[in-house]
Amino acid sequence: MKKLVYTISILLISCSVFAQDLTDALRYSNYKISGTARSAAMGNAFGALGGDFSSLSINPAGVAVYRTGEFTFTPSVGKISVDGTFLGNTINESKYNVSIDNIGYVSTIPTGENSESGLVSLSFGLGFNRLGSFSMSMLAEGANSNHSILDYFTNNVNNPVINSDDFDSYYERLAWDTYLLNYDDQNEEYFNDITDNNFGQSQRKSTTRKGYINEYLVSVGANFNHKFYVGGTLGIHEVIFKENADLYEWDEKNNIPYFNELNFNTYLKTTGNGFNLKLGFIYKPVNNLRLGFAVHSPTFYKFNDAYNSEMNSSITYLEDGKTETYSAKPDKEGVYDYEIETPLKMILSGAYVIGKSGLISVDYEIVDYATAKLKNGGGNYNYYSENTAIKNAYKTVGNLHIGGEYRVSHNFSLRAGYENFPSVYKSTYLAAQNPNGQAKYSTVSGGFGFKQGKFFLDAAVKRIINEEYLKLHPGAFNMVDYNISQNNVILTLGYKF
């Protein structure tokens, strides 16, 4: 595993380095469920409502609310747009995504003929919900930079000074082989031409991400007196994350001797599987009021990283004015195995049914992201420093989900929802302000439902707004301000039996 020689800091997240750190722990802990169109339209506020397949991933007691069997299928299409602002320059990148967010099957078995007291029914659910999508493209570009990826490489090999034969194959070795990193025999230290000439180069980074978190689940629930519902879910998680990043630096003003340009390309593919257990309850103290509580165990993940990189350079030698281009890449792809334990989650829910025409529902999730842990790295690596950084950088948050539904007629309903996810970062870390401490993630949604006989169609439109600050490369001084917006159209086709 790449051993980082700098102190892990919250200001060094998401830089496309291959070592596992607090970024990975958050990526696989802080997911937002997609699921069915009805749930999406109502802000995923289904902890106290149940009766929708998404609720099996929220509060598994929701499976016990079903009165009949059901099959659902949910495709979605969306566009995610990202404005990246770097060194005063803003540039846009966008990407369309098509996915399957849900396939679900529920069967309900009455315990006796016309039984309406005691144990009324047992329900079973089987299927999957999409818990998160990583797909997006990001672009950032700025001129007159005051830092370079070569600074990161130079600092690594000078602290302490090491022999070039010991350079990391995926980092410093590439810069050395492309003549971007040089050695000063007189001062016995490594240097690069960009730093020695006080920077001023232009920089551009293009990043493409793909992947998802899917939860394949088995749920069991029991309905007592149509007043108390209990359920449990075993969730099996499948994770795929891919990232291709291209960092380009060039001497646009032609002020840096020798150096013309460099490209540092990185590729990372993470695959993993994990599991968790969920237990939930729903109680109706009166007919119109429903109260819910659910607890999700940590998800226990095992991951494999496959990674690679490549460096290209262009240099003009002052002695003869000749320009040379160089290229280097490792002999083989790197691989690494490790584990992640995500935080425990608790969900408090309430819903009120307004006559026979409408309802309002609220879910409040409590998650302490500081308890996430990286574990069991290759070579018995214990992640002590990384887990200390997680503990000091992240905090406990409360995520809010609000939804409403109005029944226009027996066959047609209108829905709306809102979700708010506060920043999981502390506002300061190591006595430094972190701009991500104020970052928020929110959604607004709306939709409708139509049913005819045993068939039904639900549709939702969901807008997601997010802002986050990321480093252009490891060790950079300036951060990129990414403003992210996403519009999704979600359809659920269903059949009751």
pLDDT of residue 115: 67
Q: Which two tokens stand for residue 395?
A: 């905090």
Instruction: Please say if the pLDDT value at position 10 is more than 90.
Output: no
Per the CB < 8 A criterion, the answer to whether 337 and 328 are in contact is no
pLDDT tens for 34-81 read: 999 999 999 999 999 999 999 999 999 999 999 999 999 999 999 999
Q: What does the pLDDT look like over 81-118, one tens digit per residue?
A: 999 999 999 999 999 999 999 999 999 999 876 667 79
Does residue 433 surpass a pLDDT of 70? yes
pLDDT on residue 16: 41
Q: Given the DSSP bridges, would you call strands 396-407 and 228-250 parallel, antiparallel or unpaired?
A: unpaired
CA distance 209 to 211: 7
Contacts of 243 by beta carbon, 8 Å cutoff, 6+ apart? 16, 207, 208, 209, 210, 266, 267, 268
**Nearest CA to 104 among 126, 132, 124?**
126
pLDDT recorded at residue 454: 97
Answer yes or no: are the C-beta atoms of 277 and 304 closer than 8 Å.
no
Each residue's pLDDT tens digit, 402-431: 999 999 999 999 999 999 999 999 988 777
Domains parsed from the chain with CATH numbers: 10-496 (2.40.160.60)
pLDDT for res 435: 87
Which whole number is the average pLDDT over 245-266?
97
Report whether pLDDT(135) > 60.
yes
| Range list of H helices, 159-299 | 172-177, 193-196
C-alpha span between 370 and 375 (Å, rounded): 15
Indicate if the alpha-carbon torsion angle 482, 244, 299, 41 is positive or negative.
Answer: positive
What's the chain's length in residues? 497
State residue 60 phi and psi, 5-degree precision. -60, -15
- Pick from 435, 297, 315, 316: nearest CA to 367: 297
What CA–CA distance (Å, rounded) separates 281 from 480? 43
At residue 122, the pLDDT reads: 97
pLDDT band per the 50, 70, 90 thresholds, residue 477: confident
The reported pLDDT for the residue numbered 11 is 41
Model pTM greater than 0.85?
yes
Q: What tokens appear for 237 in the block?
A: 């998680």
Burial class from Cβ neighbours inside 10 Å (0-12, 13-18, 19+) for residue 342 reads buried
Q: Which residues contact 329 (CB under 8 A, 6 or more apart)?
A: 174, 308, 309, 310, 311
Residue ranges of alpha helices (H) inside 343-456 are 384-393
What is the radius of gyration, based on Cα positions, of the chain?
A: 26
